[in-house]
Amino acid sequence: MTTSHIPSFNHMSSSSSPTPPLIPKPEPVTDSTDLQTPIPTSSSPPNLYTEFNNVAETFRSAFAQRLKRHDDVTVLNSLTGAIVTVPEEQDPVPVSVPSPSLVTRKPKPQERSSELVRITDVGPEGERQFREVVRKTRMIYDSLRIFLILEELREDFAMGSGSSSRRRGRADSKAASMMKERFLWLNRDKRIVGSIPGVQVGDIFFFRLELCVMGLHGQTQAGIDYLIGSRSSNGEPIATSVIVSGGYEDDDDRGDVIIYTGHGGQDKLGRQAEHQKLEGGNLAMERSMYYGIEVRVVRGFKYENSVSSKVYVYDGLFRIVDSWFDVGKSGFGVFKFRLERIGGQVEMGTSVLKFAKTLKTNPLSVRPSGYISFDISNRKEKAPVYLFNDIDDDREPLYYEYLASASFPRGILFQRSGDDGAGGCDCINGCGSGCLCEMKNGGQFAYDYSGNLIRMRPVIHECGPACKCPPSCRNRVTQKGLRSSLEVFRSVETGWGVRSLDILHAGAFICEYVGVALTREQASILTMNGDTLVYPARFSSARWKAWGDLSEVFPDDYERRPPPSYPQIPPVDFAMDVSKLRNVACYISHSTDSNVIVQFVLHDHNNIMFPRVMLFAAENIPPMTELSLDYGVSDDEWSPKLAICN
């Protein structure tokens, strides 16, 4: 199925799927002493604590009595949103989604559906297609966010000094708002219960509004996302997701078990100032607990990086197993909910983040065995390259000499940067608009101010030795070398593989693909006994042609919309020999569904036939995720042992 036939989540057809009733669970026990780990109560006077318990019991009893008035249980039809009656002993029917079909209707402005949908059994191909939709949407969001930042900077430069002090909205907020106006948000007219197709456990987001764009969490401020009762078919609110970010002092996050504090009652400074009420998100959580409906959990925490000061991680599905009214640390009444992670899911992304952080500071504390080397580059790289194998005794990467930068034949590098008569740029204070190197790149720099690739190009001209700009120049990215700690590891599936111990933001520079560059004549001699060379011209990044394409955001505004820079392979006419000298990149596995892209770069010479082969992250890559590259060969041709093309 081609991408054009992948449906938007907004337009999911549901007519052929069975009707799945949501069966209420037995009324949970309200006594908090049933918790596996006791929760310390407030030190408030006993009579006040008793009063809170009595109020909580009154609330819960009222709901129980209201539901028991019916002979059958009223539930939500999670596919059509209609009210149906189902005998209590009937088991829930899972919702399976057939092969996705395209529905072209767009929602009307302000249209929001009351439908609750649970999507399951999409199959491997369906999941792959949904993943592509998510990737494309995230790419548009990030490209638009960067475009708005650069547009503001250009306006400031054009208006002269002092203009940058004007009050402006944040680019991440503007980007989300513009995509919403153009109906580019996912899951806009359906509220999905459970997993979002195409969003995987461990996925990382750098902005709160990005969660809204993806349909993972629909509230821009509140920590509980829910379908309000007035839009629900049976008049009851249902919670779909929560964000755990430490915003409430009474939260207790233990990983697989969370004691989550309800919302409400806080002042402008985030302090609890009054009692919480059983309404809004709190009521939705109670109702989801009663019906046994799972909620998605996203954790947010501070994480200093070049993009933002916070990171949000999707940690999978949790079930609400208990709720009670308690005295908070502030002395005011709060609702608490015990969430337990549903089994059978992959490891939580936050657990992996903590594990990777520990590996960088004290690796032997969590991995007492398996390390072969803590830096196979022998300090030739600015960041260490670990070597780990806990599968067998193979130590092959130690048998090669580590080369930090590609070696080119001396005769072809006569065109050094500045030797073509044009010289380098004269930007003493840093490169900006009008820079000579900017002109070489078509009038726009290829990187944003965080050093991330804005869009792919046939070749990027970085500032070089002849340029007068400082080393901190935004147009000197790849020549600064490795910035993230990488690990070469032994894998059952791919032989040797590579993963990062840091978060890699989409567009982040990873490393250079290094070996000994050979001319066509040199390569022909070495291949007489069999071809064991890497050919950079074969590397494929065709899946990322749309990087930076904003045509869906600016369909009629061609002046504001930068045209997509489709990567045309320059006349690259060399091979790379990695049989004796190589670097960490040579162990990256092959995949046609890769998360790493190739970008040709020139900075120390101007011979376009021999560019440097630079690798960038094609998406937000969480730590400990295996990196993959499309070498432009079939799976049968790939040799994981030598990481070379046959």
Give the three-class secondary structure for 168: coil
pLDDT at 111: 46
Scan for tokens 């004290």, then name that residue: 362
CA angle 500, 505, 506 (to 5 degrees): 115
Phi, psi of 229 (to 5 degrees): -60, -35
Considering only residues 97 and 406, tell me which one the structure prediction assigns the higher pLDDT.
406
Considering only residues 58 and 490, tell me which one the structure prediction assigns the higher pLDDT.
490
How distant, in Å, are the alpha carbons of 81, 142, 195, 265, 352 from that of 119?
14, 27, 7, 35, 26
How distant, in Å, are the alpha carbons of 72, 483, 556, 575 from that of 532?
71, 30, 49, 10
Q: Tell whether the model's pLDDT for residue 500 goes beyond 90.
A: yes
In angstroms, the first-to-last Cα distance of the chain is 30
* pTM of the predicted model over 0.95: no
Tell me the one-letter amino acid at 71: D
Bridge partners (DSSP) listed for residue 488: 387, 498
For each of the domains in the chain, give its residue range(s) and CATH number, in order of start.
Answer: 3-100+112-346 (2.30.280.10), 370-417+483-645 (2.170.270.10)
HSE at residue 138, side-chain half, CA atoms within 13 A, is 26
pLDDT at 529: 62
pLDDT at 159: 64
Bridge partners (DSSP) listed for residue 188: none
Share of the chain above pLDDT 90, in %: 39
The Cα 371–Cα 389 span in angstroms is 6
Q: How many residues does the chain have?
A: 646
The Cα 428–Cα 617 span in angstroms is 30
The Cα 402–Cα 381 span in angstroms is 10
Scan for tokens 């191909």, then name that residue: 125
pLDDT, tens digit (0-9, with 9 covering 90-100), for 211-258: 999 999 988 888 999 988 877 777 889 999 999 987 777 778 899 999
The Cα 5–Cα 404 span in angstroms is 44
Alpha-helical runs (H) found in 244-382: 281-291, 349-361
The Cα 231–Cα 212 span in angstroms is 19
Buried b (16+ CB within 10 A) or exposed e, 239-254: bbbbbbbeebebbebe
pLDDT, tens digit (0-9, with 9 covering 90-100), for 386-419: 999 999 999 999 999 999 999 988 777 655 444 4
At 402, list the tokens: 């580590």
Scan for tokens 């993009």, then name that residue: 307
At 376, list the tokens: 């196979």
Tell me the one-letter amino acid at 193: V
Other beta carbons within 10 Å of 123: 12
Phi, psi of 135 (to 5 degrees): -60, -45
Tell me the one-letter amino acid at 311: V
597 close to 618: Cβ distance less than 8 angstroms? yes
pLDDT at 283: 93
Q: Tell whether the model's pLDDT for residue 153 goes beyond 60.
A: yes
H or E, element range at 56: helix 46-68
pLDDT, tens digit (0-9, with 9 covering 90-100), for 430-454: 887 778 888 888 888 888 888 899 8
Nearest to 621 by CA among 499, 495, 478, 491: 499
Other beta carbons within 10 Å of 219: 18
244 close to 198: Cβ distance less than 8 angstroms? no
H or E, element range at 75: strand 73-76
458 close to 600: Cβ distance less than 8 angstroms? yes
Scan for tokens 């030739």, then name that residue: 380
HSE at residue 293, side-chain half, CA atoms within 13 A, is 30
pLDDT, tens digit (0-9, with 9 covering 90-100), for 534-562: 889 888 877 667 777 888 888 877 666 66
Mean residue pLDDT of the chain comes to: 77
Nearby residues of 243 by Cβ (< 8 Å), 6 or more positions away: 208, 211, 217, 223, 298, 299, 300, 312
Q: How confident is the model at residue 487 (pLDDT cuts 50, 70, 90)?
A: very high
State the average pLDDT over residues 335-354. Answer: 94
Q: Tell whether the model's pLDDT for residue 310 goes beyond 50.
A: yes
Nearby residues of 587 by Cβ (< 8 Å), 6 or more positions away: 397, 488, 496, 497, 498, 643
Q: How confident is the model at residue 32 (pLDDT cuts 50, 70, 90)?
A: very low
At 222, list the tokens: 């509140």
Q: How many helices (H) and strands (E) does the chain have?
A: 8, 28
